[in-house]
Structure 1
């Protein structure tokens, strides 16, 4: 693994001035110091593959070589330092030199999600629902002073594999006040279980998605539930059934999650530079962490 955390921190280092500038009561220097402290902590906590990453009582991620995992506490602090906030099911971030972006790994204890509606999906209708849900979520973003987003169209229409209980779909997102050419991508992958589902959301730029799709699917295949927690282990007499079906993971439920994380996707291609960590002085530390020489 070359420098996945370096790449990720470079992105955040360049995004930080934009993300803290709207807070009148928080000087930029304070925001930068907060970010730098969180980045140092994350750098020390990154776990390089190959290794198994335990995901509570539900499952595990067989993290392949070439990827790094930032655990929940450090990843949450790092995201919070540049304006993103995570929920109780957030497990951490996956980074890699293969990715211009990163993946956010979460678990949602929604119950058993029935998948019958996947047989009758209408991709055009699902896209309309996602657009409408995103516009509804924009009302909350306006109240919070957060940039508003629109969904432009599919990168990959929803595809559900009933044998493995895996769902993949991807959309182009665009910040409403962004110039042309700044489109980002949310590449969403899910695997269903007995009591809920795992999701991995790849946040990247439109220019890179074709090269990064295989990595997202590789990581999805490396994610598994523990014995007794798999979709096939469902007991209809005792287990909770989710209040929504599979289509909701492409509609209203998903629209609420396209928000702050999507903002980073808009910065990737435009702002990433190989030497950006000079901004926060972390380049040498990351090289040392990953066993690289300064000339690498």
Structure 2
């Protein structure tokens, strides 16, 4: 089944092929008109009128179909780009259900938004974190402002801490198996990693399972329950770069029970932490998921004077949590205290 994005690409291609078919048939009788049609497509309208009554020439049908397809394509593109959802009423009747969004229309609008996202390569500055990312070859960065403009009010709207996405150039973001790396900055102060090396796998896993269950219990009704099964990749700290990387295996319960991987890599700085995440990856993508977040964390760096080692115990604010709490997910409860 074609997605809306594929249709947006296929319609002008089919229209062009039909136009060329009509052009070839015009060439048989009027070569000059055919050349003009090739150089300036509106001449095709004149040809359509001229050959309208000459069925034996075989020009009318493909030329008319070509123009219709172009009109449909242009209309769908303009509608998807300019659509604005209606304002919600101030007071709603609990017994009245909101009209369901048109699935195809929503897919078209999302496809258009994804196709228009600006992509950047090379060295990308993250001003809020006083850091930069040397985006690897074949990857591209999408900043927060572009994501906010494209997805405001939808499930893809960036979180408060999100600074952007990093995507691979071969990944179709509108596709079923699309994936991207979320880049977040936690500006909560200095996050210490001093006690991390002393933690056992069992201690980290137990804390992570408790934190995951708490999040699952607090979600909206109807959402599937989930739990942390194990670490597909044990949390490891690189003490030289103050970077930690790990992979969680998550089990979802309910009708569509399944297992998925969440991959993380954190780079600690003087005033906060950069977090690279790939969520809900297939188990078969474990190596790709792990290597991607680890690579991006390794290619990020803080400005001079803003690295982990530059911390001033006297002047700098310390976060309410440490790296252990960040890795296990228990840091969220520390922030509300």
Q: TM-score, normalised by structure 1?
A: 0.70
State whether structure 2 residue 212 is matched by structure 1 residue 116. Answer: no
**1:81 Cα deviation (Å)?**
6.2
Closer, same or farther: CA 113–154 of 1 in aligned 2, 3 Å: same
| SS of residue in 2 equivalent to 1:133 | helix
User: Displacement of 1:80 after TM fit?
Assistant: 6.0
Counterpart for residue 198 of structure 1: 274
Matches within 5 A, 1:97-112: 97=169, 101-112=179-190
Task: Classify 1:171/1:160 alpha carbon distance in 2 versus 1 (closer, same or farther; 3 Å).
Answer: same
- Deviation at residue 238 of structure 1 after TM alignment: 0.7
Counterpart of 1:45 (choices 114, 117, 129) is 117
SS in structure 2 at match of 1:41: helix
* Whole-angstrom CA distance in 2 between matches of 1:146 and 1:81: 19
Tell me the distance in 2 between the aligned counterparts of 1:26 and 1:193. Answer: 47
Matches within 5 A, 1:155-194: 155-177=232-254, 179=256, 182-194=258-270
Deviation at 1:96, TM superposition (A): 1.1
Deviation at 1:231, TM superposition (A): 0.8
- Distance in 1, matches of 2:284 and 2:124, equals 30
Deviation at 1:176, TM superposition (A): 1.4
| Number of aligned residues | 232
Residue 132 of structure 1 aligns to a residue whose secondary structure is helix
What pairs up with 1:1-296 in 2 under 5 angstroms?
A: 24-29=97-102, 33-34=105-106, 36-49=108-121, 51-57=122-128, 58-76=130-148, 83-97=155-169, 101-143=179-221, 145-177=222-254, 179=256, 182-203=258-279, 204-253=281-330
Q: For structure 1, which runs of at least 5 residues remain unmatched after alignment?
A: 1-5, 7-23, 257-296
Cα distance between partner residues in 2 of 1:43 and 1:90: 20
Q: Distance in 2 between matches of 1:54 and 1:252?
A: 27
Q: Is the 8 A contact 1:171 1:186 kept in 2?
A: yes
Residues in 2 aligned to 1:129 and 1:78: alpha-carbon distance in whole angstroms: 37
Report the CA distance shift for 1:98/1:39 in structure 2 as closer, same or farther (over 3 A).
Answer: closer
Deviation sequence 1:21-59 (CA, Å, 0-9, x none): xxx525131x6545543442342223142x122111411
